[in-house]
Amino acid sequence: MKRIYYPLMLLCPGFLFAQDVDQAALAKIRKEGMENSKVKEIAMQLTDVSGPRLTNSPGFQRAADWSVKQLKDWGLKNAKLEEWGEFGKGWQVEKSYLAMTKPYYMPFIGIPKAWTAGTGGVVKGEVVVIDIQNEEDLKKYANGKLAGKIVLTKSAMDTDPTFKADAIRYTEEDLEKMTNSQPFGQGNFTPEQMERLRGARTFRNKVDSTMKSQKISLELSGRAGKHGTFFTSGGSSYRGDSPIAGPAFDMAPEHAGLITRLVESGIPVTLEAESATTFYDKKLTTGNVIAEISGSDPKLKDEIVMLGGHLDSWHSATGATDNAAGCTVMMEAVRILQAAGLKPKRTIRIALWSGEEQGLHGSRNYVKNTFGDPQTMKLLPAHEKLSAYYNIDNGTGRIRGIYLQGNEGPRAIFEKWLAPFSDIIDHPTITSRNTGGTDHQSFDALGLPGFQFIQDGIEYNTRTHHTNVDTYERLVMDDLKQMAVVVAAFVYNTAQLDQKIPRKELPKPRPATGMGR
């Protein structure tokens, strides 16, 4: 495979890229991770046992408490749920039922939208289908005619047969294109795509506000997805002072399509639904799970190498690939280092973030509180102490390389670190590109080296990302094992370097931007 190589002495004079990799340590990491893996046990605790993990919900707290205890049991130091500030209300579903009763009975696949109220008992009635594509359409329904109605907002959904596999791995050609591409925009979106996405979300919020002002009895929304899978959403703000939105369901596109076709053909459709939800608003602050393996070198132990993933999830399933997978890998990586008896020179710090799905809140506030403020670029002393941060949040797929986030400085050393794993990494790839909006960007925004690994997509964008089927069964355990071994090696190698990982030029002050995954 063709590669682009850069003269590292020009990029970062004096950096000791020739430093040898500790092959004996890598052998211990590989042996522990492949022969004594605990990824199944960790993943089950974070998914099946903890349940959905919307930030500040009971499920998130269960996962955080278990993670803190487990990290302590493995011998990590300073394990705790470290508060970063106010997030807002927690929320969870207590009951969910949705069915068509006329022209015949059929149970529907759906779930209440996050942060919406319950129905207060069973709601029954005929469905009104409305089509709102723009501001002019919205004005048609601002006249009180929808009061007390069950309303389905019509949307265009691709429900055609699938002729491509849901699960994919990158081909050599895919990775070749990635290798030679340049950094761009926010995540995998161009600036134009980001603007369209923001516009669509703003308009969707206007539609929801209109429905609430009309005092409808229930709002239904067909969501993207296929074959009973649908991508869930939030129906209102989680902020502590935000008003509570009325009851609303997301539902499978096939069932939304069934209602629409019947109604538009002049056949009345009657539904019944019941939802019960609980808001948790007594404590609006939240935190991130933090723990450390203490550094052993007197001169370097105050420097930090970080690894992490976000612990929170959406609520329609148990958040297996998004992102129990990443948390499982990172917890397993530090477990491997502990079990292998390795003594890193620098301190290794794991972080399991909260509030990622609503805008990287956990990692952004951690970075702001610990390293400095990207809006003012006023830096704290710890900014100079961080060598690098490594993130996993692209599903269950195995590592195929790493995104440099436009930081060419470490390219040669990362090539060297990937080389020993050529038997378990097909066509190891390094690209200047960034990947989608997740927690490594909080570090990059402050000029700190933050990296996300390239992972095979598997079913991430077709079946699991924010869907009602993102469950334990969607995890590929052999891939999680491979990831944990590679991450443990990267983290350990970073801790052992004579110097810190090279940095890009410091960014200029800028407002916080980005979107959680």
Q: Cα 31 to chain center, whole Å?
A: 29
What letters, b where the CB count within 10 A reaches 16 and e where it falls short, cover 156-191?
Answer: ebeeeeeeeebbbebeeebbbebbeeeeeebbebee
As a whole number of angstroms, the distance between CA 338 and CA 334 comes to 6
Sheet holding 429-431, edge to edge: 77-86, 285-293, 347-353, 304-310, 386-391, 450-455, 399-403, 429-431
Burial class for 222, CB neighbours closer than 10 Å (0-12, 13-18, 19+) = buried
- In this prediction, residue 146 carries a pLDDT of 86
Cβ(74)–Cβ(213) below 8 Å: no
Answer yes or no: CATH 3.50.30.30 is held by domain 91-280: yes
Could you list the pLDDT tens digit for every one of the 517 residues in the chain? 333 333 333 344 444 455 789 999 999 999 999 999 999 999 999 999 999 999 999 999 999 999 999 999 999 999 999 999 999 999 999 999 999 999 999 999 999 999 999 999 999 999 999 988 888 877 777 777 888 999 999 888 888 898 999 999 999 999 999 887 766 544 455 567 667 777 777 777 777 777 777 789 999 999 999 999 999 989 999 999 999 999 999 999 999 999 999 999 999 999 999 999 999 999 999 999 999 999 999 999 999 999 999 999 999 999 999 999 999 999 999 999 999 999 999 999 999 999 999 999 999 999 999 999 999 999 999 999 999 999 999 999 999 999 999 999 999 999 999 999 999 999 999 999 988 789 999 999 999 999 999 999 999 999 999 999 999 999 999 999 999 999 999 999 999 999 999 999 999 998 655 444 4
Q: CATH 3.40.630.10 in the chain, residues?
A: 22-87+284-496
Cβ(146)–Cβ(207) below 8 Å: no
Which helix (DSSP H) or strand (DSSP E) does residue 266 occupy? none
- In this prediction, residue 174 carries a pLDDT of 93
Structure-block tokens of residue 222:
């067909």
CB-based contacts of 348: which residues, under 8 Å, 6+ apart? Answer: 292, 293, 295, 304, 305, 306, 307, 334, 337, 491, 492, 495
Q: What is the pTM (predicted TM-score) of this model?
A: 0.92
Q: What are φ and ψ of residue 389, in 5° steps? A: -125, 135
As a whole number of angstroms, the distance between CA 110 and CA 230 comes to 8
Fold classification of 22-87+284-496 (topology level): Aminopeptidase (3.40.630)
Across the chain, how many H-helices and E-strands are there?
13, 18
CB-based contacts of 408: which residues, under 8 Å, 6+ apart? Answer: 6, 11, 432
Any bridge partners for residue 116, and if so which?
245
> Which candidate, 337, 357, 356, 340, places its Cα nearest to that of 348?
337
Any bridge partners for residue 168, and if so which?
458
Give the DSSP per-residue string, 21-61: P-HHHHHHHHHHHHHS--HHHHHHIIIIIT----TTSHHHH
> Which candidate, 243, 312, 308, places its Cα nearest to that of 54?
312
DSSP strands (E only) in 47-167: 77-86, 90-102, 106-107, 110-112, 123-131, 150-154
Any bridge partners for residue 186, and if so which?
189
Any bridge partners for residue 455, and if so which?
399
